[in-house]
Amino acid sequence: MKFGGTSVANIDRISRAAKRVALEVAKGHDVIVIVSAMAGETNKLVGFVGETAPLYDAREYDAVTSSGENVTAGLMALRLQEMDIPARSWQGWQVPVQTNSAHGAARIEAIPTDNILRKFGEGMRVAVVAGFQGISPEGRITTLGRGGSDTTAVAFAAAFDAVRCDIYTDVDGVYTTDPRICDKARKLDRIAFEEMLELASLGAKVLQTRSVELAMRYKVRLRVLSSFEEPSESAGTLVCDEEDIMESNVVSGIAHSRDEAKMTLISVADRPGIAAAIFTPLAEAGVNVDMIVQNISEDGRTDMTFSCPTDQVMRAEQAMRAAKDAGAINFHDLVADTGVCKISVVGIGMRSHAGVAAQMFRALASEGINIKVITTSEIKISVLIDRRYMELAVQALHDTFGLDKAA
């Protein structure tokens, strides 16, 4: 059972969450509870780090930002003990949750089960584990990237071969789109792993992308549900195999990602190796390039456009100017547009349906929304548009694909 930030936002909420855990204990289950930091806490800690050191040491970033989860793990264990349920807390390093050394975005490599299983054997009923954190081979504290407690939860479910992995959050399941920006958003009873994976990686933060990958690989029975509603067996959304979904719309969901930037190198020489000469230094500078468009060339010169997260624009600019100074590339101008967002429609039905892209573009056109960049894959279409049209675009697409109605 994983409780997100809003579900442990204060002592009262922690008590409510503990009562849910108690229900499962009463059914005879041993429970591993994964907790996030109290709502807003990680943001606050990230802010402290940035204020102290703009170009921070990622190991100390992890030391600071992992601490929010330590508080809620201890409080949850205390609360359960108050209810006469044998429980104790574990920080990541105590389990130990072994990760690689990629501080700030570490990957879990192993979760030895013996420590926790021994305690269950001695009569403990609930292991409360601080989410989001682990320990590197060098013995330093790591964190798994924002939203990482979801991944902690799924990784534990896989390691312990759990009956279920329930993700408790502030919405009662996975919706056709973010219910905060579209009031017609409809809760899905089921969603396929692949669709959830795309939605998560395209910006639907209800589950961290890596958690969905792990659930898919290890066949974890993954459910998303609200910690505020009455518990029931059929509550929430089940993330499951495609075969277990009877009927679905061609498009099952729409994701948005607010913090995108579009960068264009104006007039670069169109020659073999130019893309490598641009994208190698960007990769080396740690810029996560997403979409790429190369214009047709005129007189041997072309424009190259790519998108990346807004907070990496400075790094991208530095890398491109350095490459120009070193003579590796040549361009007339570098234009950054930080006022864009990415909207994506996702659905496994697209594999067998033609015309989804055309329908998407017509819906945007009829709202007067200009598309700046387009990319597609087998089950998704993404566009970059002006950020001020984000809500409008999501709502228009939700309407055109009839997502407010079940298939």
Binding site for ligand ASP (CB under 6 A): 4-5, 36-37, 42, 68, 131-132, 146-150
Omega of the bond leading into 96 within 30 degrees of 0 (cis): yes
Q: What's the angle, vertex CA 35, arms to CA 6 and CA 160, rounded to 5? A: 140
Rule CB under 6 A: is residue 32 a binding residue for ligand ADP?
no
178 touches which of ligand ADP, ligand ASP, Mg ion, none (CB within 5 to 8 A by kind)? ligand ADP
Q: Which of 22, 128, 144, 171 binds ligand ADP (CB under 6 A)?
A: 171
Q: Which of 91, 151, 169, 312 binds ligand ADP (CB under 6 A)?
A: 169
- CA 131, distance to chain mean position in Å, is 15
- Please give the C-alpha separations between residue 38 and each of 72, 144, 359, in angstroms, as whole numbers: 7, 17, 42
Alpha helix locations (H) across 160-208?
193-201
Rule CB under 6 A: is residue 6 a binding residue for ligand ADP?
yes
Cβ proximity to Mg ion: between 106 and 265 the closer is: 106
* CB-CB contact of 360 with 400 (8 Å): yes
- Please give the C-alpha separations between residue 217 and each of 202, 213, 214, in angstroms, as whole numbers: 20, 6, 5
What's the min distance (Å) between Cβ of 150 and Mg ion? Answer: 6
- What CA–CA distance (Å, rounded) separates 366 from 238? 35
Burial of 238 (0-12, 13-18, 19+ CB in 10 A): buried
What's the min distance (Å) between Cβ of 91 and ligand ASP? Answer: 14
What's the min distance (Å) between Cβ of 152 and ligand ADP? Answer: 11
**215-254: contacts with ligand ADP (CB under 6 A):** 253
175 touches which of ligand ADP, ligand ASP, Mg ion, none (CB within 5 to 8 A by kind)? ligand ADP
Q: Which stretch binds ligand ADP (CB under 6 A): 47-55, 94-102, 204-212, 354-362?
A: 204-212
Provide the token pair at 388: 């001020």
Cβ proximity to Mg ion: between 197 and 323 the closer is: 197
236 touches which of ligand ADP, ligand ASP, Mg ion, none (CB within 5 to 8 A by kind)? none
37 touches which of ligand ASP, Mg ion, ligand ADP, none (CB within 5 to 8 A by kind)? ligand ASP
Burial of 236 (0-12, 13-18, 19+ CB in 10 A): buried
**Binding residues vs ligand ADP (CB under 6 A):** 4-7, 36, 147, 169-171, 174-175, 177-180, 199, 204-206, 253
